[in-house]
Structure 1
Amino acid sequence: MSSQHNKHFDAILVADIGGTNARFALITDFDSQSNQFIIEHIHKFPSADFGSLESALSSYLEKIPHITPNRACLAVAGPIKAGQVHLTNLGWHFSVSSLKAEFAFKQLEVINDFASFAYAAPYLDCTQNVAVKAGQADKNANIAVMGPGTGFGAACLVQTSQGNAVLSCEAGHISLAAVTDLDRQLINELRKQHNHVSVETVFSGPGIAHLYRAMAAVKGVETKNLDAAQISELANTGECPVCDATLNQFCDWIGSVAGDLSLTFGALGGVFIGGGILPRMQERLLASRFVERFADKGIMSQYTSQIPVTLVTQDNIPLVGAAACLHANSHLN
């Protein structure tokens, strides 16, 4: 982009602030033909190198001294309450209004990582992602995003003629429903260790180990003290049939959860699944009963059958989502 072009288009600062890395970039344009944001000047900093978000942001701005963005959107891996943001893993805390004043932003939005995923959904590049379930998306309908990672996150992009908005929620903490006899047996075992068996109890990094222990108990096999990475390795090498059954059940059962959330959100615009876990289980997910269990909703099975499901593997989702948040609220182009 030439500096002349940048003067015409006010560059927008976007960031992806996680527990491990803080990534900053500039959105310098929006290509309406390809429906893609032009992302430039991407810099990644180890979050632990900085005592605060303010110092990390200052370091980034020093790298682009010729550009002074006056609008910004930050996607953060943490809760935002009453304009206060806590990144507990880092010990970072900041006030949105103080940050806006300190850096003289005319507009500053701070959203969580699943809200950014929801905003990004209409701008994803289908060639970089994996179709899990075929369907016919209604371009004007709601879109649901979800996925297991450290916890289980979900959000909904509500699309109306007045514009787009993101509905954030705590879907990870809804009660996990049993559909099959095996599901019921597993939930009975999980209840012995967990007062409330939620979606996140199973569908998260720690959840894989919870599911493994329940599966071993159901099968009458002695459990070993394994974490998610060890369970995955033993399943993939074929050394542990219980580990293999655990991951297969994980992929099958999350189909039912995704189908439930598609009904909850009215997601006829499609379902996008992300998070840190399922992209690494791509082959297993595609070979599982995910599609069958997603669609199996009794009298609403025809409704769920038409919804496409995509596994999102492309990079830079939080940066795209941060740009899309401002785009949805003020139309860049």
Structure 2
Amino acid sequence: MTQTTSYQHQDFDPIVVADIGGTNARFAIVTHYCQQTRQFEIQHQITYPSADFQSFEAALTRFLSQLPIDRPKRACLAVAGPIKSQQVYLTNLGWHFGIAPLKEQMQFDELAVINDFAAFAYAAPYLDTKQNLIIKSGQPEPDANIAVMGPGTGFGAACLARDINGSAVMSCEAGHINLAPVTALDRQLLHALRSNLQHVSIESVFSGPGIARLYRAMAEVKGHTPMDLNASQISQLAPECEVCDATLTHFCDWMGSVAGDLALTFGALGGVYIGGGILPRMTDRLLSSRFIERFTEKGLMSQYVGQIPVTLVVQDNIPLIGAAACLHERRA
């Protein structure tokens, strides 16, 4: 897949990039960067089922052995798992590796391993605006902080912090912040959620499993007996089920408050980018919801967040672009 047009490329040392998740391991080579379009060129892309390999090293070795070009000397890997003390853990797969030993084994001169939402933050300045959806217009400040976030299997967030001295990505565990109620309905739902959860975090609601929790809480608040439904079934039944419909609408409404909170937390005057696997499948509902209103309802800081644009990212290959940007920024 090519991410650039035919402008003159600057000298560029190819980068092995990867997007490693519980289901798939995606690998590619970033071969060029185009200064005019601020786009990376991604080639030799291969996806393997993660379960086909006993270790990450085995998957990476397979990819490198199939390349029709000389093996690149630098690599950046985006992983959906924790990185602690230069050790990487992909618990759903039973994969674990050390960054330094992997660098030596694969004979890389340069190797970075980053969280998948850190990759999203690195990718933000390089996104193609034509491929994504503006949820809220605004007036972004050049070179100001950018926040990225999104509900999927869990809830992830990160910040690209920028000032006159350069930029850095701040990873965090924002998904485990206490979920704050704003409206009377929020408070009723939070009360219902607390009957089953000791700690109601952002991720408790804003994730795939969270939609089912929100549905059960909504049924309780509305006086209905909940069915045993997962997120996909809730979406399918929404056109004819009052509780399912109310659940998905309130998911989008409340997400606005959460996104506004994180925009304030990160000082994201450069914009907010929302990804994850859930909201791109419900764009019409998101656009017709109270997301924008709740994003900007911040009391004394309402004008501050009012100028921040919000973009729903549906563009492909975000982790691969972010992995390339991570190493590219080091040499910029």
TM-score of the pair, normalised by structure 1: 0.96
CA contact (8 A) 2:121 2:148 kept: yes
Matched, 1:12 2:15: yes
1:248-272, CA deviations, whole angstroms, 9 ceiling, x for partnerless residues?
0000000000000000000000000
1:32-78, CA deviations, whole angstroms, 9 ceiling, x for partnerless residues?
10110111111111111111111111111111153121110000010
| C-alpha deviation, 1:7, in angstroms | 12
- Write the letter of the residue equivalent to 1:245: A
Taking every aligned residue pair, what percent have the same amino acid on both sides?
A: 66
* SS of aligned partner of 1:136: coil
1:76-109, CA deviations, whole angstroms, 9 ceiling, x for partnerless residues?
0100000111111111111101100001111100
Matched, 1:107 2:110: yes
Distance 1:203 1:233 in 2: 18
* SS of aligned partner of 2:280: helix
Distance 1:297 1:163 in 2: 29
* SS of aligned partner of 1:109: strand
Distance 1:308 1:65 in 2: 42
Report the counterpart of residue 37 of structure 1 in structure 2.
40
| C-alpha deviation, 1:158, in angstroms | 0.6
Report the counterpart of residue 211 of structure 1 in structure 2.
214
What does 1:5-84 correspond to in 2, within 5 Å? 9-84=12-87
Distance 1:218 1:8 in 2: 60
Distance 2:270 2:79 in 1: 25
Distance 1:258 1:302 in 2: 15
Distance 1:7 1:194 in 2: 53
Matched, 1:273 2:246: no
CA contact (8 A) 1:6 1:28 kept: no
Report the counterpart of residue 154 of structure 1 in structure 2.
157
1:183-234, CA deviations, whole angstroms, 9 ceiling, x for partnerless residues?
0000011111111111111101110011001100000011111111111110
Q: What RMSD, in angstroms, separates the aligned Cα atoms of the two structures?
A: 1.5
Distance 2:302 2:13 in 1: 47
What does 1:93-104 correspond to in 2, within 5 Å? 93-104=96-107
Distance 1:149 1:9 in 2: 34
Long gaps (5+) in structure 1: none
Matched, 1:295 2:302: no
* SS of aligned partner of 2:245: helix
- Write the letter of the residue equivalent to 2:183: T
TM-score of the pair, normalised by structure 2: 0.96
Distance 2:69 2:289 in 1: 51
Report the counterpart of residue 5 of structure 2 in structure 1.
none
Count, aligned residues: 326
Long gaps (5+) in structure 2: 3-7
Distance 2:47 2:282 in 1: 26
* SS of aligned partner of 2:29: strand
CA contact (8 A) 1:202 1:208 kept: yes
Show structure 1 runs of 4+ deviating over 6 A: none
- Write the letter of the residue equivalent to 1:264: T
| C-alpha deviation, 1:8, in angstroms | 5.3
Report the counterpart of residue 314 of structure 1 in structure 2.
315
Query: Which deviates more, 49-58 or 313-322?
Result: 49-58
* SS of aligned partner of 2:61: helix
Distance 1:263 1:206 in 2: 26
Distance 2:10 2:121 in 1: 30
Distance 2:9 2:125 in 1: 25
* SS of aligned partner of 1:217: helix
* SS of aligned partner of 1:97: helix
Matched, 1:164 2:138: no
* SS of aligned partner of 1:267: coil
CA contact (8 A) 2:280 2:312 kept: yes
Matched, 1:284 2:285: yes
What does 1:226-265 correspond to in 2, within 5 Å? 226-235=229-238, 238-265=239-266
Distance 2:11 2:142 in 1: 31
- Write the letter of the residue equivalent to 2:189: L
* SS of aligned partner of 2:178: coil
Distance 2:75 2:266 in 1: 28
| C-alpha deviation, 1:161, in angstroms | 2.3
| C-alpha deviation, 1:164, in angstroms | 1.5
| C-alpha deviation, 1:6, in angstroms | 11
Distance 1:66 1:255 in 2: 46
Query: Which deviates more, 93-102 or 65-74?
Result: 65-74
* SS of aligned partner of 1:189: helix
- Write the letter of the residue equivalent to 2:316: D
Query: Which deviates more, 9-18 or 78-87?
Result: 9-18
Distance 1:234 1:12 in 2: 45
* SS of aligned partner of 1:254: helix
Report the counterpart of residue 189 of structure 1 in structure 2.
192
